[in-house]
Amino acid sequence: FPPPEDFAQQAHLGDVSDYEKLWQESQRNPVQYWEGTAKKYVWWETPWKQAFEWNEPFSKWFIGGKTNAAYNCLDRHLEKNGDKLALIFEAEDGRVENWTYKQLHREVCRFSNALLSIGAKPGSPITIYLPMVPEAIIAMLACARIGAPHSVIFAGFAASAIRDRVLDASSEIILTSDVAYRRGTKLDLLKTVEEAVKQTPAVHSVVVLQREKTAALTGVFKDWSTLIARASENHEAKSFDSEHPLFFLYTSGTTGKPKGIVHTTGGYLTSVISSAHMVFDLKKDDIYWCTADIGWVTGHSYIVYGLLGNAATCVLFEGALNFPHPGRIWEIVDKHEVSILYTAPTAIRSFMRTGEEHVDKFKLDTLRLLGSVGEPINPEAWMWYHRKIGKEQCPIVDTWWQTETGGMMITPLPGVVSTKPGSATRPLPGIVANIVREDGSSANAGEGGYLVIEHPWPSMLRAIHRDPERFKETYWSKFKGKYFTGDGASRDADGFYWIKGRVDDVLNVSGHRLGTMEIESAIVSHPYVAEAAVVGKPDELKGQAVVAFVTPKDSAGLKDFEKATAELKAHVAKEIGSIARPDEIRWTKTLPKTRSGKIMRRLLKDLAAGKEVTGDTTTLENPGLVEYLH
């Protein structure tokens, strides 16, 4: 699909030959491209002295430059856009709150002072465990403003997951709320945090946003509104080094321990503000809605920093997209006149399934651009999105990127790049991508291989917190000098990328990233369990479903496997959070292993997918087992 003509005519980047020139130049000289971009999109108090330093695998961008992320998202807009809406918040019950840039700025200043009053310091991480409410964004921006890196934990995670992340980050302050509202019920966030902080002795303050009733809080627990009532609304933002850490975000990897991905300030802002502007083709009257939670990188980059950095108006929704009726998402689009919608393939597939009558009740005529993120979008879902939601008028931007990349990497620019359903199309200007074979050589057109990035980019992760070895090993050891994404992909004759999904032991369930080892260690912590292996199986709705092969301890003397299955699923939800709950538990006497003792995951994957096991099983310790596992 070529860009619709009227769209191309009004687009920031609407001239194909200009774009081709820019793109080619950016491939030859990415640093020059990024310097221009950093000047154009980011406010700098002090300009940088050196644009880029590469000390493989450690990079620095805009060295010597000083800036402040919150200033970029708020203060610099006040003169021209102070009365413009920054946030339109809709609660699950339909209540709406509007926040102008002036109001948001005032509240962020106030909360910055509140944080300072309880001992927050530049460089000292603050944990945020909040639902999708304006205060979550206020909290993030206040942290950024005072130079305290935030570590946001998705509010669906369980107590032990909070505890591990708080300890790993050495965080002494937690920001949370009493409850979150979801599907007509209340989730008790405070109870979860209370449990977590029993084992985090360094935490001296838990600031609680009390949404239900104001109870008296004691010990380390402090009331949010009391703190801000005492705080001044004047706060002057101090600038920090471009490489000052802006946030940590924990994500799953191939071991049992989540990785604390570290992002810094100047380069990150350069990438997310410029990509939001170009990929969403942002105009001053756009109403933008990203349905992701701020607990994931999508919320960080394409609600908070990328969009507020452009003085855009964002819808923020606390609730489920299909509650209390299957068309809630479309109702919100009409109600707030959303012009740009950014959502996930899994959501699109679930709306395809619930039936078109729930879409037909709504006009959807304010939409002009659609986005997709989080997992490969299958062509059928792409076409449905195009036809049913976009009414064949809206370009679709399928944006490939990762927690580690900070910003979008491979995606169409809607005014100049044609789209093919199921392809994320081409790398953005400044992004030097490639598909390589096992030996590191470039794959031919149409040949599958590993997706790598061949030149550092400004919003690249700088580190895994406290684990430089793992940082090197995970991203920089497979292919010399290239960033390895962990994804498999191919590139067609037009240079378009087709992302196939993870080639490592990372699962993608409804666009959420889960480590198989993390789930395995939660499973084996249950007293019944001797051993476990977790694999993904293809799932029409969720992309992948979680299947666990589990061997019980003889001593457990299990007889009622149905009951044990239910208990084990609940156990994982309690240990990690309900997003990690296995869809299927398969009990087995032993797990298939090679003679050297490695679990044969490929075989288990085939079994889980219901495929015949055809691969080589000669190295299997116990070949009869294959039959047994059926």
**What is the contact surface with ligand WT7 in residues (CB under 6 A)?**
251, 296-298, 373-376, 398-403, 424, 485-487, 499, 501-502, 508, 513
Q: Which residue reads 């709705």 in tokens? A: 541
Write the burial class of residue 598 (CB in 10 Å: 0-12 exposed, 13-18 middle, 19+ buried). Answer: exposed
Q: What is the largest CA-CA distance in the chain?
A: 74
Nearest to 109 by CA among 238, 244, 242: 238
Please, which residue, 393 or 402, has the CB nearer to ligand WT7? 402
User: Are residues 25 and 444 in contact, defined by beta-carbon separation less than 8 angstroms?
Assistant: no
Please, which residue, 341 or 373, has the CB nearer to ligand WT7? 373
Give min distance, CB of 190 to ligand WT7, in A.
Answer: 27
Give min distance, CB of 530 to ligand WT7, in A.
Answer: 31
Please, which residue, 90 or 487, has the CB nearer to ligand WT7? 487
Give min distance, CB of 410 to ligand WT7, in A.
Answer: 8
Amino acid at 560: D
Distance CA 586, CA 547 (A): 7
Give min distance, CB of 97 to ligand WT7, in A.
Answer: 26
Give the CA angle between residues 224, 210, 228 to the nearest 5°: 20
Give the chain's count of helices (H) and strands (E): 21, 30
Give min distance, CB of 14 to ligand WT7, in A.
Answer: 23
Write the burial class of residue 345 (CB in 10 Å: 0-12 exposed, 13-18 middle, 19+ buried). Answer: buried
Give min distance, CB of 252 to ligand WT7, in A.
Answer: 8
Distance CA 192, CA 198 (A): 10
Residue 424 Ramachandran class (φ > 0 left, ψ -120 to 50 alpha, else beta): alpha
Omega of the bond leading into 3 within 30 degrees of 0 (cis) = no
Helix (H, G, I), strand (E, B), or coil: what is residue 213?
Answer: coil
Please, which residue, 381 or 568, has the CB nearer to ligand WT7? 381
Please, which residue, 176 or 251, has the CB nearer to ligand WT7? 251
User: Are residues 214 and 118 in contact, defined by beta-carbon separation less than 8 angstroms?
Assistant: no
Please, which residue, 186 or 500, has the CB nearer to ligand WT7? 500
Give min distance, CB of 498 to ligand WT7, in A.
Answer: 9
Please, which residue, 242 or 298, has the CB nearer to ligand WT7? 298
How distant, in Å, are the alpha carbons of 69, 377, 423, 492 from that of 489?
34, 13, 10, 10
Give min distance, CB of 99 to ligand WT7, in A.
Answer: 25
Long-range CB contact pairs, 441-444, < 8 A, 24+:
443/490, 443/491
Please, which residue, 68 or 403, has the CB nearer to ligand WT7? 403
Give min distance, CB of 239 to ligand WT7, in A.
Answer: 28
Give min distance, CB of 253 to ligand WT7, in A.
Answer: 10
Please, which residue, 383 or 530, has the CB nearer to ligand WT7? 383
Q: Which residue reads 């096991």 in tokens? A: 613
Give min distance, CB of 431 to ligand WT7, in A.
Answer: 14
Please, which residue, 196 or 292, has the CB nearer to ligand WT7? 292
Please, which residue, 113 or 298, has the CB nearer to ligand WT7? 298
Distance CA 340, CA 355 (A): 22
Strand partners of residue 221? 206
Omega of the bond leading into 57 within 30 degrees of 0 (cis) = yes
Helix (H, G, I), strand (E, B), or coil: what is residue 436?
Answer: strand
DSSP code at position 246: E
Distance CA 488, CA 338 (A): 34
Residues 6+ apart with CB under 8 A from 402: 297, 409, 485, 486
Please, which residue, 82 or 501, has the CB nearer to ligand WT7? 501
Give min distance, CB of 405 to ligand WT7, in A.
Answer: 8
Please, which residue, 114 or 370, has the CB nearer to ligand WT7? 370
Give min distance, CB of 372 to ligand WT7, in A.
Answer: 6
Q: Buried b / exposed e across 58-74, counting CB within 10 Å, b at 16+?
A: ebbbbeebbbbbbbbbb
Give min distance, CB of 134 to ligand WT7, in A.
Answer: 22
User: Are residues 152 and 138 in contact, defined by beta-carbon separation less than 8 angstroms?
Assistant: no
Please, which residue, 113 or 251, has the CB nearer to ligand WT7? 251
Q: Which residue reads 């413009």 in tokens? A: 84
Residue 124 Ramachandran class (φ > 0 left, ψ -120 to 50 alpha, else beta): beta
Give min distance, CB of 119 to ligand WT7, in A.
Answer: 32
Please, which residue, 48 or 302, has the CB nearer to ligand WT7? 302
Give the CA angle between residues 527, 578, 209 to the nearest 5°: 115
Describe the strand order of the beta sheet including 584-587 as a list of residue ranges.
529-539, 543-552, 584-587
End-to-end CA distance of the chain: 44
Helix (H, G, I), strand (E, B), or coil: what is residue 433?
Answer: strand
